[in-house]
Every structure is written in structure tokens, then in C-alpha cells.
Structure 1
């Protein structure tokens, strides 16, 4: 090839490469500018889309707000073996809970939460209300202030989420559980203590009969954990509640299912109690965690003051249980309640999940004076398999050891029950 042609080619190649590199740099800069513009637009309009630290819930966050969408599904099945002819409890299945859960923060100091249970739509039965939590909370100083519908601060099992309770249903102390009501609450906590105090009216979907005065409560709880580290907890708690049943003209009723919700049978039931002026509740709590072993118990005493010559009443309930993780996990404890179980080895990632066994004894006494609501003693054997932190399978065998309710068809019924649950939350 001619030397002049070769020289031209050799000089042309660097020039072409230099021009190509310049164009590529310009295009890269333009692309980076476009990406930055899109990021600013996303932040200004829709927020940043991300998953929460637990890896389950969808969350949106901007400079001044956050929004998290979650939910839960709990499917139950139960079979019953009554020992007395004619006592039918109804084997079957039920969607126990089907939650939509929305929560978030506004301007750092304002929290909010809304829960709706599609398995419990509005109805005439006060136990069948769809609206669960519905509140806003200000955390700009201590104590935090909560407005809206939330759980009254009474009872360790009651305040622990249904996702994290050791047994499928609560023990017989649940007969005195106040559940959620509209109120104003104050609360604060640290690693070793917590307190909460609130004034409450009626539930969100509870109509006041004849447009009369609402019932009202003053409820408070104090907890102390002298030992609180990973896998080692000692918990002590004290709770009190003053209930004034003005909405029903001084009438109320205590009744409870046999530690299974797949039945409408109430083995213990005081029927309607009249002339009730007020009710005082006192609750004591204790729990320990030592590695995979945990022991927990509660006692509730209830005193009814009555007028118009009606006799005052004292009713009570208590339970105690022990649980053990065969795979070595420990119950998680935070702010005076027990939290989610995280398996050491997750199913689907080469593990077998977390396996837990538990045994509970519970007793309720609704017999006092002229009132024969029943005295019940139960023992429950439970097995839990946590396949992942948010998928759990549970089985409970419940034996009614004693039912003392003279004059009632269920008197001396020694019921055997098997209850199964499948749950997932996100």
C-alpha cells in the first residue's frame, strides 16, 4: 500500500476514536441528567417505592410521609368430641381473620394506622365488627398521645398480636378482655419498662341504645422487665380497669367459647347481669424467657358493684403455660409485649423452620352468689411450625377438665377439641 495512504489511515483512526469517545461522554452525561430529573420527579410526586426492613410489606416514602400496606390471613378448622349426648359444637372451618392493614408516618411526629377485618363485617353482634385499629398518634414528646380506636391496655396475651400468640386462641382470661374502643391514650416505654393509660368510650361501630350515654372506661398498664436481653427476659406487669356500663342501663354479660372460635357455643355464660353500677378489673402478669424455654401466666380479678339491692359479685380467671422451641429459637420481647418469631433456618432456604411445643392450663370462675355462669378448667397442648417469619401452621388439642354449671345442658361436659390454623401476613 502507498505510504501516503497508510499515513492517512493511521492519522484518521485516532481522530475517529476521539470523536466517538466525545459523543459517548456527551450521551452519558445526558443520560445521567435524565436519570437525576426522573429521580427528583418521583420524589416530588409519588415517593420512593421500597420494601420495609421485614421484607414483607409494600411501603412508599417521601420527604414528609410514609405509607405501608400490609395484611393477614388466618384460616381455622376444628373438630369436637363432646362427652354428653345432644351437645353439638359444629365441626367445621372458618376464616378467622382477613385484615387489610395501612400504617405510616406524617411529618416525623405523627403516626397513623387503619385495620379492617373482612372476616368480621359489621353486624348486630358486637364481636363481629370489621373496623379494628383506627388511630393517629403524636410522638413529638413523651408520652406519646394516641387518638382513635385501639386496644385498651389490659392483659399480656390480649396486647400481643394474634400473629404472635403461642396458642391459637387466648386462655380463659379472655372472658374479661376489653378489646378495642375509641379513646385517648398516653404511653411511653424504654428497654426495661413501659406504661400506658387511657380513657375510652364505645367501639367504632357500636351504636348506643336509645341514644343514651356511652359506657366509659379508665384503663392503665405498667410493666417492668428487670432482665431484657436477647433470649433472656423477665417480665412483670400490673393492669387495672374501671368500667361504667351506662350505655346499657347498668347491664352487661360475661361469656366465653372453649378456647376455639370455630363454634358459637359459650360453655360459660353469666347471662345478662343487671343493676351494675361499675366494674373494677385487676390484672397481674408474669413471664420469663430463658433461651428456647418460656413460662407465662396471668390472673384477672373482677369486682361488680351493683345497686337496687342486687348482690355484688367477684369473678376471676387465670392461666399459666410453658413453651419450648425444639429448634433453639427464643421468644422476642419488646415494649412490654412479645413479638414475631424468626426461624433460624427458613423453609425454602434450606431450613426446617422453627418448631415450638407448649402446654397451658387455664381456669375461669363465673359462679358467685346467685349467679351460676360456670366454672371451667381447660388444658391445651399446642404445636407451632413457623416455616418463615410470616408463615405459621399451628395445632391445638384442648381438653375441658371440668365444667361446673348446674342447671345448664353443658354441666360436667368434658369436651375434647382439635383446632388447626394456617396463617400468613405481609
Structure 2
């Protein structure tokens, strides 16, 4: 028993020596298992993080796609525009209504007092896929039955802007000729354009290129006839080549100097070669033309040129234009016709006429105080002297000189009331009943455009 007691310490030491390796191995196994678990958890965490990033990217892409599909509505104080959020598509409805009244103090011949819907138009314009612009406009009024262009298509064109600042336009639109003519009729200082508008081609079907810089513009094109013209009944239609350039040596809000020039070559259709120039007395509510060349037959071609000048200093502005037209005839002598006007305008309430250098025109006026919002609108006084000479040698179409006084009340950017007094100062048409006829006209207009 005593021997066993002495052996116990020895046995305990052996047990400890035997157990130590076993514990060490177990500890190592536990450490290895923990490292593997930590590594596994780290891998799972990285996978979760990547999945979260993918989900976030997908959500961002979807949000951007949803945003691009959306439509925003904006307005410029005059009209409303709908556009996609990414700017690729735009749509803007528009139109205008002009209601006129005229009273005449007749002299030698009756002109006929009356009322008329001068213009009643609806339009739609915009763009698709960023670089394709379009516009369609239709005139519903036919206040002058003898005017072949009274009712029907106005603008109807497609324009490519992908070569900016160069644009290419195809369709029915205004030819680049004459300061007054290329200006919108909603922005005119007087109810009607001046007498020399008879030389301006207005709208025809064709193709044109246009470009502009900070203070200049240049446009040119080739054109055929109007959409309503019947080429089948006339033979091959004629063609028109026009170009116009403008330069503003300086321009800013209320401070403008404009210079411009335009050229035109007209070859009429090959079946009749008939052309005619005649003008109403700067009032559209009459079908009487005080000057008229009659039909000129045997016309080979017509060459025209125009010179423009305008300036603005705060509320004061001046504008002038001259157009010369030479009618080259086949079997008779050529004819030289011409006309000019000069006008001045003063805003009593201090506004200025906005100038668009990219087109070389004055734009609509925005009153400093809008009627209906506490303002009195913009009040404008204007004066114009115009002259049209259709006399040359044996041709006695008449020479007419007019003086027009205007008062405009711009209630809002798109509502305007106008009053004009027109006096025929001189009418030189020897051998015609209209010779010496010097009537007066009092005309008013209510206009809204959008």
C-alpha cells in the first residue's frame, strides 16, 4: 500500500505528459476551424456586397429609364411646350387669331369698310431624336377670296440640325428674302407689311441651308411653287433662288445695329411666263389695288435685290429697306421696278424690341408690366413712310406713296391691340382712273398668338 502511494506522483506525471499533445492538437484543430469559418464568412460578405452593388446599379438604371420616359411641361410666358426629360423629343402647339376692322375715307373710288378675320392659324412644331425639327401650320381664314394663298398650308417642313450651326430645311416655308417678310406677322409694328412686300416671295416648297454666328446669319435656298399651285395645268413649274445675309456690328438688349442684304433670281413656269405685281393700300380689308402692272407676258426671268438697315437705342428704333426688281422679258423691253420704306418706333413705357441675331429679325415684345398682373402693358407709337414704283417707260403700273401712323398696346407677350391711320400721299398713274387717288384708312386689330 505504501508502495502504491509512492507511485501516484509518477502516474500523474505520465498522465500529464500523455495529455499535453492531445490538448495541443485539439487547440490547433479549433483554431483551424475558426480561421476557415472566418474566411467563409468573409467570402459570403463579399458576395453580399457585390449583389447589393448590382441591385443598386439596376435600380439606378431603372430610375434613369423612368426619368427619361417622363414628360415635362414648360412655358415661356407666351406658349406651352411638352418635352421628354432627356430632351430628345419636343412638342409645342401654337396658333394665332387676328380680327380686323377698317374704315375708309374714299377719294376717287370706293374701297369698302368692313371687318375680317385676317388670320386664324393652328400649328404644331417640335423635334424628334434631338436633331430633327418639324413644323406644320394651317391657315383657316379666307378673308380675301381673290387671294390664292388666303387659306391653306403655311409652314410644313422638316429641318435637320445635326450639323449645327448649319441647318438644312425641306418643305414649305418662307424664302430668305426681305426683312419685313421673314419677320413673323405677329411681331410686325403695323397691321400690314409695307407696299414693297409685293416683291417678297413669302412661302414656297423648296430646300434651304442656314447658318449663323453670335452676330450674323446667312441663308439660301432653291424653291418651286406653293402647295396649292397646279403645276399640271401650267406645264413645268418655275423655280426661285434666294439668299439673305445679316450682320449686327453690335447688339444687346435695347442696343442694336442691323445691316442686311438679299438677292433673288426667279424663272417663271415655262408655259405662260406671266407675272404680275400689284398692292393694296397697306390695308387688307379691300380688294382694290391702287397700283397694278397688269399681267406681264413673255417674262424670261426676274432679278431682285434688297438692302436692309435697322437700329435700336432703348425704346427708340428705326428700320428701313429697299428692294429693286428687274423684269427681263423675251420680246419686249425690260422693266425696272422698285420700292422702299422707313419706319420709326418709340415705346412710351420703356420697352425695347427684342432682336434675334441668328435670324436677323426683331421678335415679339414682352411688356415690363403685364395687364392682369398689375401692369399697364407696353405702349408703342410708330410712323412709317413707304413708296412703291411700278412705272417704267411704257409700263404704267403706278407709283404710290403712303404715310402710316400706328399705336400699339401690347397687353401681354401674346395679346396685342393695334390702330393704324394710313394716308395715300401721292398716286401717280397717268391714264388710269386711279391717278391722283388719295384715300385714307382707319384700321384696328385685336390679336392673340400662342
TM-score, normalised via structure 2 length: 0.82
- Structure 1 alignment gaps of length 5 or more: 1-36
The aligned residue for residue 23 of structure 1 is none
The aligned residue for residue 367 of structure 2 is 343
Matched, 1:107 2:148: no
Cα 1:122–1:329 change in 2 (3 A) is closer
Matched, 1:77 2:101: yes
The aligned residue for residue 117 of structure 1 is 139
Structure 1 Cα separation of the partners of residues 425 and 76 of structure 2: 45
Pick the aligned partner of 1:57 from 52, 55, 80.
Answer: 80
The aligned residue for residue 380 of structure 1 is 404
Matched, 1:66 2:109: no
Deviation at 1:55, TM superposition (A): 4.7
The aligned residue for residue 202 of structure 1 is 225
The aligned residue for residue 356 of structure 1 is 380
The residue correspondences of 1:320-331 to structure 2 (distance < 5 A) are 320-331=342-353
Deviation at 1:88, TM superposition (A): 1.2
Task: Count matched residues.
Answer: 386
Structure 2 Cα separation of the partners of residues 425 and 372 of structure 1: 40
- Structure 2 alignment gaps of length 5 or more: 1-61
The aligned residue for residue 279 of structure 2 is 256
**Which is helix-richer, 1 or 2?**
2
SS at match of 1:163: helix
Pick the aligned partner of 2:294 from 264, 268, 271.
Answer: 271
Structure 2 Cα separation of the partners of residues 58 and 121 of structure 1: 30
The aligned residue for residue 13 of structure 1 is none
Cα 1:128–1:247 change in 2 (3 A) is farther
Structure 1 Cα separation of the partners of residues 217 and 286 of structure 2: 36
Contact 2:117–2:143 at 8 Å: present in 1 too? no
Deviation at 1:39, TM superposition (A): 11
Contact 1:252–1:273 at 8 Å: present in 2 too? yes
Q: What whole-Å deviation, never above 9, does each CA across 1:84-142 have from its counterpart, x for those lacking one?
A: 2xx11110000011110100011111100011011149977423241001001001114
Q: Once superposed, what is the RMSD of the aligned Cα atoms?
A: 2.0
Structure 2 Cα separation of the partners of residues 213 and 122 of structure 1: 28
The aligned residue for residue 10 of structure 1 is none
Matched, 1:406 2:418: no
Matched, 1:93 2:106: no
Cα 1:276–1:70 change in 2 (3 A) is same
SS at match of 1:175: helix
Pick the aligned partner of 1:174 from 189, 197, 202.
Answer: 197
Matched, 1:367 2:391: yes
Contact 1:378–1:402 at 8 Å: present in 2 too? yes
Q: What whole-Å deviation, never above 9, does each CA across 1:207-252 have from its counterpart, x for those lacking one?
A: 1252511110110001000011110000000000000012552110
Deviation at 1:273, TM superposition (A): 0.2
Structure 1 Cα separation of the partners of residues 374 and 233 of structure 2: 61
**Bigger Rg, structure 1 or 2:** 2
The aligned residue for residue 171 of structure 2 is 148
SS at match of 2:162: coil
